[in-house]
Amino acid sequence: MLCAFIFYASLNKKFIYLGSKLTLANFSVLFIACAYLSFQFLQDNFAFIYVFENSSNLLPTYYKFSAFWSAHEGSFLLMILLLSGCMVLNNWFFWEEKWMPISNATAAFILFFYLLFQIFTSNPFLTFDVEPNNGTDLNPLLQDPLLAIHPPVLFTGYVLYAITFSLVIAGMFRGFGKELFKKLKFWAGLSWFTLTLAILLGSIWAYYELGWGGYWFWDPVENIVLLPWLAGTAFTHSLIYSKNKILLSWMVFLGISTFLLSILGSFIVRSGILNSVHSFASDPSRGVFLLSLFAIFAFSSLGLFFSKSVLLKSNWPELMSKQYLLLLNNIVLLVILLIVFLGTLYPIVTEVFYEQKLSIGPDYFSSLISPLVFVLIGLFLAEQFLSNLKANKKNTLLLLGVFALIFLVLFGTDLSPINLSLIFVFLVLVILLMRALVELTTTKDIKIMHKVLGHLSVVMLTLAVLVNHQYSESIDVKLKPGDQVEFSGSTLKLNSINIEGKENFDTVVARFSVNETSNEKSLISEKRVYKVGGVITSETGISTSIIKDYHIVLGDRYQDGSWSIRFSINYGIMMIWISSIILLLSMLYGTIRRHGY
C-alpha cells in the first residue's frame, strides 16, 4: 500500500511533463487509499490505530464516515486527495495551455512533499498487533453534521490556493497572458468562495454547538484560517485590473503569500505550538517537517518572485482612480492581516524569548480591526461615487459635505463610539442600496452585479455584527421545573427535565418555553454524557428569528433539584448568516459568470 504511494509520487514527479494522464492516475490511487481507510471505519476495524482512536462501534454510520477526517492523519490524507483532485480538474479544463506543465510540476512538487509528510510522520494505516474490541470514540464535539462537512470544505479552499499558486509560478516563467488571467480569476474566485464557506460553516457550528453564544472567538486557529482568507481577498481584488497589467507584481506577490500563509497555518495548527480548541495532538517531528516545508516554499517562491520581478512589467494606477482605491483597499486588508498575525503569534514570541505565557484576547483584535473595517466600508462608498466625482464635481462634493456634516453633528452629541459606528454603517448601507436601486430603475440593469451585491452584503454583515455586539444580553438563573423568569421583555419557563437514552449517549433533556407578548416558542436544551469515554457536552437550545435568537445553555444541577441556566437574547444572528450567504452567492456568481460553466 505504502510502496504504491511512494512509487506513485516519484513517478508523478518524473513524468509530469507527459501530461495530465498521470495526475488522473495519481488521483485514483489516492482515492483508492482513502476508500480503503473509509471502509475500515465503516467495518469497525479497530486493528487500525487511527480507526481505534476516532471511532467506536456505537457511533452512527454517517459519523463513522466523517470520522475519517476528524483527526490529523485522516484530514491530511483528505487534503492530499483533494489536491490531486484539483490537479485533475485543472488539467481537464486547460491542459493544452503552454503554462500547464509548470503549473502541474509545481502542484506535483507540493503534493510530493505532502505525501512524504503523510507517510513519514502521520500514517493513518498503522495497525495494532492485537485488535481491540472497541474504539475510543469520535470526539463528541465533532459529532455534528456541520462539522462533518466543515473540514473538507476548508481543505478544498486551501488546496485551491495551492492551484492558484502553481498558476502564478507558471505565469512567472511563461509570462502572464489573457487566458492565464481568466484561469487565475476562476480558481482564485473559487478558492475564495470555498474558504469563505468553510469559515461560515465553522462559525455556524461554533454558535450552535459550542454553547458559548458567539460565532467568532479570535481563537488562534480561527485567526490562522483568517490569514489566507484576508490575503486571498486582497488577491482576488487585485486580479480585477490585472488585465491591464496594473500592479501585476503586487498581484503575484499576493498570490504567493496566500499560499504560504495557508502552509504556515497548517504548520501552526498541526504542530501544536498554539493552544486552542482545535489543536491536533502535537508531535514535534511533524512540526519540524511542516516548518521546513514552509521554509522551502517561502524562500524558493519569493526568491523566484524577486528575481523575476523586473520582468513583470507593472503599470501604476492614477491618483483617485478605481485602481488607486483598490490599492488602498489592499493596504487596509493587509494591515488587518498583520494585526491578526501579530496578535496570534505574539504569545509564541514571548514564550520563546521571555518564557512567559500570555494571552491576546478578543479585545485587542476588535479594538484595532473594527476601525479598519469602517475604512473599508468607506472605500466601498468612495468607489461607488468616483465616476460621479469626475463627471459632476459640484454635486458629489455637496453630497459628501452633507454626509460629513451629518456625521460631525452626530459626533458632537455624546453618542458612544459603537452607536456612532452603527449609524455610520447604517447610512452607508442606505446610500449603497439607494444607489443600486437608482441604477436598477434607470438602466434596468446593474453593472457588475456581484460587486454591488457583495459590497452590500459586507456592509450588512458589519451592521449585523455591531447590532449583535451592542444589544445582545444574557442572564444566569436557577430554575426548577415549572419555574419561570422574566428577562428583557420575555418570559422563560422551564417546562420539564427528563433523562433519555440514545444510541451512543445518555442525555438530560430540558424543555423550555419562551413567551414574548403573544408569541410562544419552545426550546430544547440538552446535556449529553457519551457512553464511550464519558465526555459531557451541552446541546444549546436555540430559537431563531430574523431579529433575535433565544439561546439557552443548561448548566449544572443543584442539590435542591434546580438547574443553573444561562439565557441569552442574541440580536442579529440571522442577519449575519443571511448576509454571509448573499456574500457567498455573489462570490460564486462573480467567479463563474464569465466562464459560462
Shortest distance (Å) from residue 411 CB to another protein: 15
Nearest 5°: phi and psi at 550? Answer: -100, 140
User: Does residue number 331 form part of the binding site for another protein (CB under 8 A)?
Assistant: yes
User: Does residue number 208 form part of the binding site for another protein (CB under 8 A)?
Assistant: no
| Cα 294 from Cα 264, distance rounded (Å) | 6
Cβ atoms < 10 Å from Cβ of 388:
15
Contact 453, 582 (CB under 8 A): yes
354: Cβ contacts below 8 Å, ≥ 6 apart: none
Which residue from 61, 356, 441, 442 is in contact with another protein, where contact means CB under 8 A? 356
Shortest distance (Å) from residue 38 CB to another protein: 29
Which residue from 28, 488, 496, 519 is in contact with another protein, where contact means CB under 8 A? 488
Within 507-566, which residues bind another protein (CB under 8 A)? 536, 538, 553, 555-556, 562, 564
| Cα 459 from Cα 225, distance rounded (Å) | 22
Element housing 366 (H / E): helix 362-391
Question: Dihedral sign, CA of 439, 441, 442, 446?
Answer: positive
Within 393-432, which residues bind another protein (CB under 8 A)? 419, 422-423
Which residue from 4, 288, 402, 581 is in contact with another protein, where contact means CB under 8 A? 288
Binding mask 564-583 for another protein (x = CB under 8 A): x-------------------
Of 57-65, 271-279, 434-442, 576-584, which segment contacts another protein by CB under 8 A?
A: 271-279
Which residue from 476, 500, 506, 520 is in contact with another protein, where contact means CB under 8 A? 476
| Cα 208 from Cα 539, distance rounded (Å) | 8
Tell me, letter by letter, the H, E, C secondary structure of 284-322: HHHHHHHHHHHHHHHHHHHHHHHHHCCCCCCECCCCCCH
User: Does residue number 295 form part of the binding site for another protein (CB under 8 A)?
Assistant: yes
Shortest distance (Å) from residue 294 CB to another protein: 7
Q: Which residue has the cell 476508500?
A: 35
User: Does residue number 294 form part of the binding site for another protein (CB under 8 A)?
Assistant: yes
C-alpha 297, offset from chain centre = 23
| Cα 348 from Cα 220, distance rounded (Å) | 11
Question: Dihedral sign, CA of 202, 208, 212, 216?
Answer: positive
Q: How many residues does the chain have?
A: 597
User: Does residue number 267 form part of the binding site for another protein (CB under 8 A)?
Assistant: yes
User: Does residue number 273 form part of the binding site for another protein (CB under 8 A)?
Assistant: yes
569: Cβ contacts below 8 Å, ≥ 6 apart: 472, 473, 474, 487, 488, 490, 548, 549, 550, 551
Within 300-319, which residues bind another protein (CB under 8 A)? 302, 306, 309-310, 316-319
Of 75-83, 178-186, 288-296, 508-516, which segment contacts another protein by CB under 8 A?
A: 288-296
Within 55-74, which residues bind another protein (CB under 8 A)? none
User: Does residue number 448 form part of the binding site for another protein (CB under 8 A)?
Assistant: no
Number of residues that bind another protein (CB under 8 A): 84
Of residues 22 and 532, the one with the C-beta less far from another protein: 532
Which residue from 483, 516, 524, 531 is in contact with another protein, where contact means CB under 8 A? 483
CA angle 71, 72, 76 (to 5 degrees): 115
| Cα 335 from Cα 484, distance rounded (Å) | 49
Of residues 459 and 479, the one with the C-beta less far from another protein: 479
User: Does residue number 484 form part of the binding site for another protein (CB under 8 A)?
Assistant: yes
User: Does residue number 131 form part of the binding site for another protein (CB under 8 A)?
Assistant: no
Which residue from 177, 362, 417, 533 is in contact with another protein, where contact means CB under 8 A? 362
Shortest distance (Å) from residue 41 CB to another protein: 26
